[in-house]
Each structure stands twice: as structure tokens, then as C-alpha cells.
Amino acid sequence: MSNALQFPTRMLMGPGPSDVHPRVLAAMARPTIGHLDPVFVAMMDEIKDLLRFAFQTKNAMTFPVSGPGSVGMEACFANLLEPGDTAIVCANGVFGGRMKENVERCGAAAVMVTDDWGKPVDPNKAEAAIKANPGAKLLAFVHAETSAGVKSDAAALCGLAANAGMMSVVDAVTSLGGISVAVDNWGADAVYSGTQKCLSCPPGLSPVTFSPRAVDTVKTRKTKVQSWFLDLSLVAAYWAGEGARTYHHTAPVNALFALHEALIMLHEEGLENAWARHAAMHQQLAAGLERFGLTLPVAAPDRLPQLNLVSIPEGIDDAKTRRRLLDEFGLEIGGGLGAFAGKAWRIGLMGQSATRRHVLTCVAALADVLQR
Amino acid sequence: MSNALQFPTRMLMGPGPSDVHPRVLAAMARPTIGHLDPVFVAMMDEIKDLLRFAFQTKNAMTFPVSGPGSVGMEACFANLLEPGDTAIVCANGVFGGRMKENVERCGAAAVMVTDDWGKPVDPNKAEAAIKANPGAKLLAFVHAETSAGVKSDAAALCGLAANAGMMSVVDAVTSLGGISVAVDNWGADAVYSGTQKCLSCPPGLSPVTFSPRAVDTVKTRKTKVQSWFLDLSLVAAYWAGEGARTYHHTAPVNALFALHEALIMLHEEGLENAWARHAAMHQQLAAGLERFGLTLPVAAPDRLPQLNLVSIPEGIDDAKTRRRLLDEFGLEIGGGLGAFAGKAWRIGLMGQSATRRHVLTCVAALADVLQR
């Protein structure tokens, strides 16, 4: 059975996963150790510190949830919301819509603030919704909408929520490590991310951070969190330091080896350097694509450097083109979702995939495939 | 920061994770590919087939949940139960108690059937509970109680549930690959497992299988599943074959590389051979421990070959002994939980840790540490 499958080496320039550095792959392949091993517990502490660095926060409650980004999203809503609560959800792409699903499955009501795909969340609309719903518990939005390649103004949106006495929930899945995620400066209350984007780790973990106010909200709930696995009061005890630690689940040891190494690499590079690299590669990619007539539908100031929407030229077959890039060059780029399905590609420049080699290869390969 | 931590090579003989074969570690370190890559999709199909082999089932709905065993448990209850339902839960250790938590967080009532830790679930008590609660939707129990080292009679318990028109939910986290998990022969409706026990894979995934009846139950729910991430109707579409596949979350690609390889190794060995190996190693371990006066508190017919409870002799310091085994021999064994905390060790012989080398090393190291 194993003989049939030939595992390829790709160049990952889709919406995630991104290319993983050999150091991180090697870390992931270390012999598995127990999740109660003193070395493992020491690594957990380092991971928490490194995540605080990446999130630019002092939040004590900062750790990776043992599941992909969607689970991090669910952890935020399931812990902060109770039946009967109201949440204001800003949607300008797939992931805002997923937030609504999460809110409603917690028994809460979602008041939607919608913007077109490809546009950032409009803070004026968010402000109006906050004024119209003074009893809402939180405002939720996506900092970097992976489906639309758009950045929203997290500082402004968190500020609006805080001014109204509401909490803020921020999706930073695609932003963390690629652009600034300034949790403490923003005053954000619950922020979740993923490992397979700008952290350049294999998918499977979701770093989260909760402000003291968010932690208090969880502690003073009237009802139990509907998910045992995601109940912060239990998970936090598992991620507490040695001595205080209580068994909850068995942590994904090797995935955490990888995250630990990827975070060390981010720390070695420095946040500002990583952001500058993403920005520079984005400029080079945009220039290269525009040189042979491709256009980027998102307005320049709203673009995510790490996730570039590119309009598919008239008469070009979307799926066939992507398949040729994969088959002929081992190059993966992403298709469009929702409003952009069949209309735009998504070209990721995330983490280890944000290099000049990636940019030039992608431009050259795309030019080649489109011209033949 | 990375220089401080020295990652050790252990010999894992606790309650999981177990030792992972170099082939599986190497598979896990393959360059990450996209979760929409045709090769990845082909691998998903192979994983489903291999899991059907391991679970001895034809169930179409068989796949690994992207989270540890606890998430598999939650997936079963969250999908099958709705608010107002009743579930009969058999508890003879930690994990039966966790089932109760899950049932209640779904808004359902749990009728408990309790047996002492170290004893199997008593089918007579289960039968009495079924008779007393004819409206209950399901009967849940742990096939292999990791906290107590005890095997329960899954065929009998599933049969009782089926005869009463109830569904059965089976925890096979520690049993799959170590002893027979005969899903179709038992007539079990929802069964979950973990990767880090007898499959000898790093922790982080939870193989599950659902009978057609269980799938129908999910399809005809009156309310939405409270967890978006675990909603089978969405996850199933993600694990559907190429063409039918719908984006849900980003699968943990490298963890699935590892599971794929571990399942291929189980397939190469053959289920019966794997069970026989676990049984033989258990006999050798028990004989070796008894030779120098240690006793196994669980009655012989109820013992799990892959997880051995060993009474801690009078006057011996539990934690200090385990720490010496770890420091002096790199050998991890488990401490007791709940009723057995401080009173028994848990020695795992799971998957790649069920070898003569492990048995002899463990007996010799334990003898050495206890005698000095």
C-alpha cells in the first residue's frame, strides 16, 4: 500500500500550509517523549514565553491549543460566550462567516457587520453596530482575512470594543509572524492563530492568548463551557508550570517540538525583520506579476503582504493552471474562495515561503504556464 | 533559548505515548505538502482504508479527527447527543468519568453505572441500567481503561445496547492495535481511539468510526452539533474522496504522514500477530515482575496486556522511583491515577514498546532501582 504513494517536495505558496524549514521538520522527528517528562514540561514553558513574544503580550494565559486554527477560534467563543449572549461579528470573507457559526452554536446571537470580500472591515459600521447593541458581550473580527487577502485595522476595532466595555476576539491565523499582531497595544481580549501560515510550522496547533479580563469572564461563567476539551479552566491547569500541572489531555508532543523550533527561528530573526521580509517579498511579487499584466484586486493599502489575491485573466482556466503549476513546477498556489472562486488566485508568501527564490520562481512559472 | 534544552531519547513504557518507530518519525518529517494536494488526498483515502482494517469495520464514516483522543470522545458525544437526551455511562476509571462530563456538557443526562477501579464493567449492572432507562439513547463504556489497566467485555456491552435499541459508544483509545477491536462484530455504533498507544504514533490524532445508524442519527438531529469543528456532517465532507471534498479545516498534514506510516506497519505485521505480540510481552513482563516479588492488582483475566498495573511495594517512594528510572535509565513508566495514585505504577507495553528488549530492560531497571 505504501509503495503506491510517492510523496513530493512542493514549493508551498498557497493560503497555508507554507514551506517548513528543515530545522523544524527535524525537530518534529525527534524521538517522542512523554507529555509529563520534565524536558517536555520545560519546553512547554519556553513555548508559552515564545508565544508571548510573537503575540507581543504579557498575557499569562498564552499557549497553543492542541488542534488546528479552527479549534482556536472555537476555544475563544466557547469560553467567552454563554447561551443568551450577543456577539457582534464583522465578516468580510470566509472566516467571519465561520465566526457566526461558532457564536450561534454557543447559544448566543450574532449581530453581523458585513463588508464586501476584498475590503477591510469598516470601523464606522462596527461602531454603529456597537452603539445599536450596547448589551453585546464582544466584538469579533478577522485581522488578516485569508480568503480575501485583506488586512483590517485591529487597533481601531479593539479600541471601539474596549471603549464600549465589550471584549474583542481577533482571528490572527494568517497575520501572526507576517505582520504586527500587537495584542497588548491593541487591548485585544482573545486572539487565536495557526501554525501553518507565517510561523511556517506544519498545521495542527492553534496558539491563543487571553487577556486577564477574558480569563475573569471564563472564571465567572454561570454555565460550564460546552466543550470539555476546550474548557480553559481545565486546559490552563495543564499548561501551568511544573508543580501546578494537572492532567487534561495528552499533548501532541512532536507537533510541539516543531512549534518550539519554529518560534525559536522567529525569535532569532526578530519580529521586525520578519515583517520587513514579508513586506519586501510582497512588493517584489506584486511588481513581478504586474510586469506581465496580472492585477491584484485588493487596494494596495489593504493588502496582506503574506497573502496576495491575483485576478485570473479572462479566458484562463483556474483549476487547470494551478494543476500545471503543481505538476510542472511542484508549485502550489491557492484557488479563490466564495466571492473569489474562479476569479482570483491566492499566492502566499508566508514564513519560509517569503523568500526571493519563491517570488522569482512563482512569477517565472506563472508566466511560463500562462504563455504556453 | 534553544541551547538550554537537551532533548533525550527515552524508552516509553508509560500509559502513552509509546515508542515511535524511526519509519514513522521519518514519515512525519517529510516536507509538508498542501492539504488539497492530490497526493495528500490519495493518502487520506489510504488512511481511511487502513483504519477500517484496524477497527475491523466496513463503516464508511471512518477517519482520524484532527485532535487527541479526548477530542475523539467529544466528537462521539457531541454528534450523537442532543439536549434532553439520556446516556448510560459505565465508569470504572478516569475515562468513564470524563464521558460523564462530555454527556452533561451536551445538555444530556448521564445515568452512571459504576464499578470499582481495577474491575471491568459489570454487564449485569449495565443491563439493569438499560432496563431502568428504556428511553436512553446510548450506552457508553471504555473498552480498555488506561487508568485501571482493565479490559471490559465490549461484545457483551454493545450487544446489550443493541438489544434494547440503544446505540453504543466505545472508548478504544488504548485497545486499538493491542487487543481486538471488532467494531462490526460487536455492532458498536461510535468508537474512538488515539494514535499514541498501540498504534505507536505521536499523540495528536483520534481515529473514529461511526456505524450507518450513528450517521443517520447525526443526519436527523433537530439541533445543530454544538461544535462547528466536530460537526460530522462537515468533517465527513472534508474526508470524502476527491471530487466530493469540501474545505473544512486544514488537516495536520505531517501528523497524518505519521499515522499513515504507522498503520502501514500494523498492516504489514497483521492484526493477529500484533495482538499475539502484546499478549506474549505481557506474560513475560508479569512473570519477570512477580519473580522479584511485585504483584499485579488486576485479576489475570481482566488485565490489559498493553497496560499493566503494578502495586507499589510498602515503603517505596512512587515519584522518586519513577524519577530514578527516568534519570538513570531513560525509562518512563506511569504513575497511578485516582484510586491508584501512589499505590500502583502503570507499565505500558504498547505498539513498538511491546518488545522483549523493553520487557527485560524494565524488569532489570526496576529491580536495580528498588534494590539500591
Instruction: Retrieve residue A300's grid coordinates.
Output: 494596495
> A9 to chain B: which residues are within 8 Å by CB?
31
Strand pairing class (A150-151; A144-145): antiparallel
Q: What pLDDT digit, counting tens, does each position of B132-186 carry?
A: 999 999 999 999 999 999 999 999 999 999 999 999 999 999 999 999 999 999 9
Say how many residues make up chain A. Answer: 372
Strand pairing class (B331-333; B344-348): unpaired
> B350 to chain A: which residues are within 8 Å by CB?
none
Q: Do A5 and B98 touch (CB under 8 A)?
A: no
B194's enclosing H/E stretch is none
Whether the pTM exceeds 0.90: the reply is yes
Q: How far is B351 from chain A (nearest CA, A)?
A: 13
Q: How far is B333 from chain A (nearest CA, A)?
A: 9
> B68 to chain A: which residues are within 8 Å by CB?
66, 249-252
Q: How far is B98 from chain A (nearest CA, A)?
A: 8
Say whether B354 sits in a helix, a strand or coil.
coil
What angle do helix axes B253-269 and A253-269 make, rounded to 10 degrees?
Answer: 150
What is the model's pLDDT at position A246?
83
Say whether A206 sits in a helix, a strand or coil.
strand
Give the closest of A10, A17, A258 to B250, CB-based. Answer: A17
Q: Do B332 and A252 touch (CB under 8 A)?
A: no
Strand pairing class (B86-91; B109-114): parallel
Does residue A372 surpass a pLDDT of 90?
Answer: no
d(CA A277, CA B4): 28
- Cα-based torsion angle of the residue sequence A155, A158, A160, A164 in order, rounded to the nearest 10 degrees: -150
Does residue A2 surpass a pLDDT of 60?
Answer: no
d(CA A324, CA A62): 42
Residue B145's nearest CA partner among B220, B93, B205 is B93
Q: What pLDDT digit, counting tens, does each position of B204-236 carry?
A: 999 999 999 999 999 999 999 999 999 999 998
Q: How far is B25 from chain A (nearest CA, A)?
A: 5
DSSP letter for B168, please: E
Does residue A200 surpass a pLDDT of 80?
Answer: yes
Mean pLDDT of chain B: 96
Say how many residues make up chain B. Answer: 372
Q: What pLDDT digit, counting tens, does each position of A288-324 carry?
A: 999 989 999 999 999 999 999 999 999 999 999 999 9
The torsion angles phi and psi of A31, rounded to 5 degrees, stand at: -55, 135
Does residue B3 surpass a pLDDT of 80?
Answer: no
Instruction: Pinpoint the alpha helices (H) of B239-317.
Output: 253-269, 271-291
Instruction: Retrieve residue B265's grid coordinates.
Output: 506497519
Over pLDDT 70: what percentage of chain A? Answer: 98
Mean per-residue pLDDT for B26-36?
97
What angle do helix axes A212-219 and A69-80 make, rounded to 10 degrees?
Answer: 60
What is the model's pLDDT at position B236?
87
> A326 to chain B: which residues are within 8 Å by CB?
37-38
Whether B61 and B210 have beta carbons less than 8 Å apart is answered as: yes
Q: How far is B163 from chain A (nearest CA, A)?
A: 31
Whether A242 and A51 have beta carbons less than 8 Å apart is answered as: no
Q: How far apart are the first and last CA of chain B?
A: 37
Q: Which residues have C-beta within 8 Å of that of residue B6, sequence separation ≥ 6?
A: A39
The torsion angles phi and psi of A144, rounded to 5 degrees, stand at: -125, 100
Strand pairing class (B206-210; B61-65): antiparallel
Q: Which residues have C-beta within 8 Å of that of residue A194, sequence separation ≥ 6?
A: A16, A68, A69, A72, A173, A174, A176, A203, A205, A206, A207, B250
Does residue A244 surpass a pLDDT of 80?
Answer: no
d(CA A185, CA B62): 45
> A78 to chain B: which residues are within 8 Å by CB?
227
d(CA B185, CA B182): 5
Domains and CATH numbers, chain B: 10-17+271-371 (3.90.1150.10), 22-267 (3.40.640.10)
Residue B253's nearest CA partner among B109, B100, B114, B47 is B47
Does residue B62 surpass a pLDDT of 90?
Answer: yes
Does residue A126 surpass a pLDDT of 70?
Answer: yes
Q: What pLDDT digit, counting tens, does each position of A146-193 carry?
A: 999 999 999 999 999 999 999 999 999 999 999 999 999 999 999 999
Q: Do B29 and A26 touch (CB under 8 A)?
A: yes
Q: What pLDDT digit, counting tens, does each position of B338-348 carry?
A: 989 999 999 99
Mean pLDDT of chain A: 96
Q: What pLDDT digit, counting tens, does each position of A61-97 carry?
A: 999 999 999 999 999 999 999 999 999 999 999 999 9
The torsion angles phi and psi of B90, rounded to 5 degrees, stand at: -95, 125
Whether B56 and B213 have beta carbons less than 8 Å apart is answered as: no
What is the model's pLDDT at position B1?
52
What is the model's pLDDT at position B22?
98
d(CA A120, CA A143): 9
Q: What pLDDT digit, counting tens, does each position of A23-60 carry?
A: 999 999 999 999 999 999 999 999 999 999 999 999 99
Q: Do A253 and B17 touch (CB under 8 A)?
A: yes
Nearest CA in chain B to A333: B34
* Chain A, chain B: beta-carbon pairs less than 8 Å apart: 236
Lowest model confidence (mean pLDDT) among A273-277, A290-294, B360-364: A290-294
Does residue A256 surpass a pLDDT of 90?
Answer: yes
Instruction: Retrieve residue B268's grid coordinates.
Output: 504489514
